[in-house]
Amino acid sequence: MKHTKMTLSTETMNLDFVRKVESLSGSSVRRCFQCGKCTAGCPMRSFMEHPPNRIMRLLQLGQWERILAGRSIWYCASCETCSTRCPNKVDLAAIMDALRKLSWDANGPSKESYVQLANRLFIENIKTYGRQYEMRLGAVFNVKSGQFLKDLLLGPKLLSRGKLKMFHSKNKNITEIENIFNRIEEMRKTVL
């Protein structure tokens, strides 16, 4: 990975963003004293260009654009090991969740935009159908990611074995699921 020099100035330190992260996660960013225990226990750290403790340091320095431009937050498995190990009660797993939400809202230029796209389509399907609709998920993902021919051979095989359904009905409890999404939207407005 290419390392670029970090410039710290009032322009580059976006502390409003850090306050949003703290508000959403309910956890303090400032409490982190860089002991590294979170990273030592993180099962996904080898896939991240910014390991968990560095995410905290970048946040403290207001360097959120570096975080959102990378893949680390999308490789976090939400296992909560970091939060459990932190001697200073930093809920890093909740901070990762908050960062994914803010990245989602910003629709930012993540290197892992495919992960973000898959997440978005997954949730959209749940919202629309009340359950997952794999055929649609795969087809829309391939079109939106520009990989039109990706599953050309696999799709028919899965259809013939009944692993994929061409058409899909909505969950009969769709109204309850819509209510859950509405409540989440209301909560988001009060937090931000």
Question: In the complex, which residues of this chain contact ligand SF4 (CB under 6 A)?
Answer: 32-38, 41-44, 52-53, 56, 76-82, 85-86, 88, 90, 92-93, 96
Q: In the complex, what is the shortest distance from the CB of residue 162 to ligand SF4, in angstroms, rounded to a whole number?
A: 34
Q: In the complex, what is the shortest distance from the CB of residue 61 to ligand SF4, in angstroms, rounded to a whole number?
A: 14
E-assigned strands of the chain?
none
Other C-beta atoms closer than 10 Å to the C-beta of 137 total 16
The residue (of 66 and 136) whose beta carbon lies closer to ligand SF4 is: 66
Q: In the complex, what is the shortest distance from the CB of residue 125 to ligand SF4, in angstroms, rounded to a whole number?
A: 24
The residue (of 6 and 77) whose beta carbon lies closer to ligand SF4 is: 77
What would the two tokens of residue 150 be? Answer: 């990706």
Closest CA to 192 of 62, 102, 73: 102
Q: In the complex, what is the shortest distance from the CB of residue 174 to ligand SF4, in angstroms, rounded to a whole number?
A: 31
The residue (of 20 and 45) whose beta carbon lies closer to ligand SF4 is: 45
Task: Say if residues 141 and 117 touch (Cβ distance below 8 Å).
Answer: yes
Other C-beta atoms closer than 10 Å to the C-beta of 118 total 17
**Which residues fall within 8 angstroms of residue 14, CB to CB, at 6 or more apart?**
62, 64, 65
The residue (of 52 and 62) whose beta carbon lies closer to ligand SF4 is: 52
